[in-house]
Structure 1
């Protein structure tokens, strides 16, 4: 991964997307991938996380493609950064930053429901911009 696809965000934590997904094995998640005329939404149990792919339900997803994952458990803390994440063939998502990993960002989508985290990969197909919140 090159650093040119993420701008203005805090320094990454020493965790990869594979490491972030490992504790979620067996849990239900929702993954969104490109589709026509709208995004393809797959909800199922997360399984078989490898260095290059992961499986949700019966669908295998490659890390080096456009996708994002929505988890089901709310978070309590976000960082004071607004985030815009853009993926080829998916479009842009906005939200509040939870963390930056080595090859992903985790954030709460705004507008969204119940403050549930979204995991968004940093790869050739994606770009992320963070902007520190300003006190009004």
Structure 2
């Protein structure tokens, strides 16, 4: 298997992470961020989505940092690409691609529940897809 940058996987849809989050305002989501010893998990209502930050419960998350968000909704469809998402201080996640946005990737973690994970594409992260036929 050869790893390729996610941006070569498929053309990004013309949607940003902030635009993806705005219809979810008022819904319960879980955000994971690096902590001193392990990942910090915050579950709460998504509020106050701006270009630079969003709030989950009482936790304000800056968009240009490292985090990932797990949504509380079932995945309807995935694409035939397996991906690896790596974030500084957070390790590696694997999953099935749902969509690539301009500055995020959405996927279903495997193994895991059948719910979407939103992962930012920024200077703290790398996302690759694996081509199993090579």
Q: Is the TM value for this pair above 0.5?
A: yes
Secondary structure in structure 2 of the residue aligned to 1:22: helix
2:29 counterpart SS class = strand
Who is 1:128 aligned against?
A: 127
- Residue 9 of structure 1: how far off its partner (Å): 1.9
CA distance in 1, matches of 2:122, 2:56: 20
Matches within 5 A, 1:55-94: 55-94=55-94
CA deviation digits over 1:81-104, x for unaligned, max 9? 000000001011000000000000
Please give the alpha-carbon distance, in whole angstroms, between the structure 1 residues aligned to 2:95 and 2:19: 22
Q: TM-score, normalised by structure 1?
A: 0.91
Check the 8 A contact 1:80/1:132 in 2, yes or no.
Answer: no
Q: Please name the residue that 1:12 is paired with.
A: 12
Query: Is the 8 Å Cα contact of residues 33 and 68 (structure 1) preserved in structure 2?
Result: yes
Q: 1:132 offset after TM fit, Å?
A: 3.9
Question: Does residue 116 of the first structure (1) align with residue 115 of the second (2)?
Answer: yes
Q: Which runs of 5+ in 2 are unaligned?
A: none
Gaps of at least 5 residues in structure 1 are none
Q: Tell me, what secondary structure is at the counterpart of 1:92?
A: strand
Q: Secondary structure at the match of 1:77?
A: coil
Q: Does the Cα contact within 8 Å between 1:12 and 1:102 map onto a contact in 2?
A: yes
